[in-house]
Amino acid sequence: DSGVTQTPKHLITATGQRVTLRCSPRSGDLSVYWYQQSLDQGLQFLIQYYNGEERAKGNILERFSAQQFPDLHSELNLSSLELGDSALYFCASSVASGGAFYEQYFGPGTRLTVT
C-alpha cells in the first residue's frame, strides 16, 4: 500500500460526458502528479501540482483539467469524453516538487471506460 488513494476504482461512462477523478496523496506529500496509461502503453505524464500550484504540464488535452485543493487532495476533470480517453489514470505523490528526483508513490489507479 503506497498510501495514495484514488477514487473511484472503476468508471464507465458514455462519450460526451464529464467525469472527475479524485486523488489523496500520501500524508506529508505536497506534490501530486497525474498520468494516463492506455492499454499496453507506457505512462503519459499529464500534469503536476505542488502545494496547490501547477508546476509542470505534459501531454494534457484541453478537455482535461486538474486542481489541487488546500487539503492537498487533487481532482482530474475529463470532459467531452471520447472513446480514446479510455485508460488507466494514475495519481502519484512525492514529498517535494521534482518527480524525476524525489520518489513518486503511485495510487492504484482509476480505470475509465468510455462507451
Partner 1 sequence: LAKTTQPISMDSYEGQEVNITCSHNNIATNDYITWYQQFPSQGPRFIIQGYKTKVTNEVASLFIPADRKSSTLSLPRVSLSDTAVYYCLVGDGFQKLVFGTGTRLLVSP
Residues near partner 1 (CB under 8 A) are: 2, 4, 33, 35, 41-43, 45, 48, 56-58, 88, 90, 92, 97-109, 111
- Residue among 10 and 70 whose Cβ is closer to partner 1: 10
- Residue among 35 and 49 whose Cβ is closer to partner 1: 35
Write the burial class of residue 18 (CB in 10 Å: 0-12 exposed, 13-18 middle, 19+ buried): exposed
Residue 55 C-beta: closest distance to partner 1, Å: 8
C-alpha cell at 16: 460526451
Residue 16 C-beta: closest distance to partner 1, Å: 27
- Residue among 52 and 98 whose Cβ is closer to partner 1: 98
Instruction: Say which residue the cell 480514446 belongs to.
Output: 84
Amino acid at 99: G
Three-point CA angle 96, 102, 103, nearest 5°? 115
